[in-house]
């Protein structure tokens, strides 16, 4: 049994990960620490486990094997480095950290102390992503020329996001670094090549401290373009994927959750839009983390895309602030 210390209930998905740990036959929540003691004690009492005022004290427990991190983004570097040094495996909410430099500090601690790290990038494991990857590997679109992924909800306009999600000091950004993580890592995945620069534009529809409406454009050496869109200000904006190539196009979520293709590479796809089957989701990032711990393997692809995600987010934040395109090689490693 993998015994888990829960680091914070700050994030809106903290209880989702708690539920995954409770339902998995090989894991259990054994302790809670939270930077907000009142919130942490309440969460610990609900689960019948001890609450710790001191993170160091919780991490010193030899019977705790790993941690789930749902602390503010601003705390990720500190809590994860501490956890790694204490020999605890780490499952974390995205992003790993808001800068490439902090990510590399975390990865160095993980490597030095031999712990297993997995990042919650859930849409990498969804069936539509698996199907799209297969289509791209088959070359049915020819050369990819443009990828657009959009994800937006009404968390700011409807008022259901917690107020701390609009704190620049805690989140290091708004809609893009939170909800926009998903279209960002998917856009990077579907482009099939590393972007060279990022141009981002942020909007402040509700007047919050952080952006609630955002677009980032990723440029590549080949000329392919990625468009990432995210927002907290839309009631009826479907999750949407468009991938265009020299020989075909894929559409998903326009607006229904259907995967459509047209391609000149296959006659049956060339005359009209064809709906393709979407396979079941593969195991979740949390389940993968447990497997890596038990089998001594590493989440190589997951971490690769998580690092790229931070790189693209840091460049986007700089671009929006400085009102220019930011090259990824400008970032401090």
> Same domain for 27 and 7?
yes
CATH assignment of the domain containing 212: 3.30.360.10
Domain end residue (candidates: 115, 144, 169): 115
Q: Is residue 292 situated within a structural domain?
A: no
Query: Maximum distance among all alpha carbons in the chain?
Result: 65
> Same domain for 169 and 242?
yes
> Which pLDDT value is given to residue 332?
87
> Same domain for 111 and 127?
no
Answer whether 4's CB lies under 8 Å from 88's CB: no
> Same domain for 234 and 263?
yes
The whole-angstrom separation of Cα 133 and Cα 139 is 10
End-to-end distance of the chain based on CA atoms, in angstroms? 37
Domain end residue (candidates: 71, 92, 115): 115
Q: Is residue 301 situated within a structural domain?
A: no
Answer whether 30's CB lies under 8 Å from 91's CB: no
Q: Is residue 186 situated within a structural domain?
A: yes
A 10 A CB-CB count for 197 gives: 17
From residue 281, how far is each of 108, 130, 284 by CA, in Å? Answer: 31, 8, 8
> Same domain for 258 and 158?
yes
Structural domain boundaries enclosing 85: 2-115
Count how many domains the chain has.
Answer: 2
> Same domain for 49 and 91?
yes
Q: Is residue 260 situated within a structural domain?
A: yes
> Same domain for 131 and 249?
yes
The whole-angstrom separation of Cα 284 and Cα 178 is 19
> Which pLDDT value is given to residue 56?
98
- The DSSP bridge pattern shows strands 326-327 and 195-203 to be antiparallel
Q: Is residue 204 situated within a structural domain?
A: yes
> Same domain for 151 and 271?
yes
- CA proximity to 328, closest of 183, 180, 218, 173: 218
> Same domain for 40 and 86?
yes
Domain end residue (candidates: 76, 93, 115): 115
Query: Which residue shows structure tokens 């590549």?
Result: 220
> Same domain for 102 and 128?
no
> Which pLDDT value is given to residue 333?
77
> Which pLDDT value is given to residue 162?
96
> Which pLDDT value is given to residue 63?
96
Q: Is residue 288 situated within a structural domain?
A: no
> Which pLDDT value is given to residue 285?
98
Q: Is residue 295 situated within a structural domain?
A: no
pTM: 0.97
Q: Is residue 300 situated within a structural domain?
A: no
Q: 210: helix, coil or strand?
A: coil
User: Quick one: angle between helices 285-295 and 14-23, nearest 10?
Assistant: 50
- How does pLDDT run along the chain (333 residues), one tens digit per residue? 999 999 999 999 999 999 999 999 999 999 999 999 999 999 999 999 999 999 999 999 999 999 999 999 999 999 999 999 999 999 999 999 999 999 999 999 999 999 999 999 999 999 999 999 999 999 999 999 999 999 999 999 999 999 999 999 999 999 999 999 999 999 999 999 999 999 999 999 999 999 999 999 999 999 999 999 999 999 999 999 999 999 999 999 999 999 999 999 999 999 999 999 999 999 999 999 999 999 999 999 999 999 999 999 999 999 999 999 999 999 987
> Same domain for 59 and 169?
no
From residue 321, how far is each of 42, 232, 316 by CA, in Å? Answer: 38, 19, 9
CATH assignment of the domain containing 20: 3.40.50.720
> Same domain for 95 and 136?
no
């Amino acid at each position: 049994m993998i015994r888990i210390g829960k680091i914070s209930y700050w994030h809106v998905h903290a209880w989702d990960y708690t539920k995954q740990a409770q339902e998995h036959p090989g894991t259990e929540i054994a302790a809670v620490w939270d930077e907000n003691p009142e919130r942490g004690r309440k969460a610990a009492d609900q689960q019948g486990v001890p609450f710790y005022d001191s993170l160091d004290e919780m991490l010193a427990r030899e019977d705790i094997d790993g941690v789930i991190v749902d602390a503010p983004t601003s705390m990720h570097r500190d809590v994860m480095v501490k956890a790694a040094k204490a020999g605890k495996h780490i499952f974390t909410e995205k992003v790993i950290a808001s800068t490439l430099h902090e990510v590399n500090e975390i990865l160095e601690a993980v490597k030095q102390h031999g712990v297993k790290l997995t990042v919650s990038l859930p849409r990498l494991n969804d069936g539509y992503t698996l199907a799209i990857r297969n289509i791209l590997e088959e070359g049915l679109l020819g050369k990819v020329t443009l990828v657009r992924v959009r994800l937006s909800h009404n968390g700011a306009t409807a008022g259901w996001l917690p107020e701390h999600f609009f704190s620049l000091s805690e989140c290091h950004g708004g809609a893009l670094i939170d909800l926009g993580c998903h279209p960002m890592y998917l856009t990077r995945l579907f482009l099939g090549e590393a972007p060279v620069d990022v141009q981002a534009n942020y909007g402040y529809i509700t007047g919050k401290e952080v952006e609630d409406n955002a677009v980032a454009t990723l440029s590549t050496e080949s000329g392919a373009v990625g468009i990432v869109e995210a927002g907290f200000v839309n009631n009826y904006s479907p999750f949407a994927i468009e991938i265009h190539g020299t020989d075909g196009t894929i559409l998903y979520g326009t607006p229904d959750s259907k995967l459509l293709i047209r391609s000149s590479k296959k006659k049956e796809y060339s005359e009209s839009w064809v709906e393709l089957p979407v396979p079941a989701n593969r195991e979740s990032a949390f389940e993968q983390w447990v497997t890596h711990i038990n089998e001594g393997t590493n989440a190589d692809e997951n971490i690769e895309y998580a690092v790229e995600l931070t790189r693209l987010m840091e460049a986007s934040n700089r671009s929006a602030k400085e009102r220019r395109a930011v090259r990824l090689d400008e970032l401090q490693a």
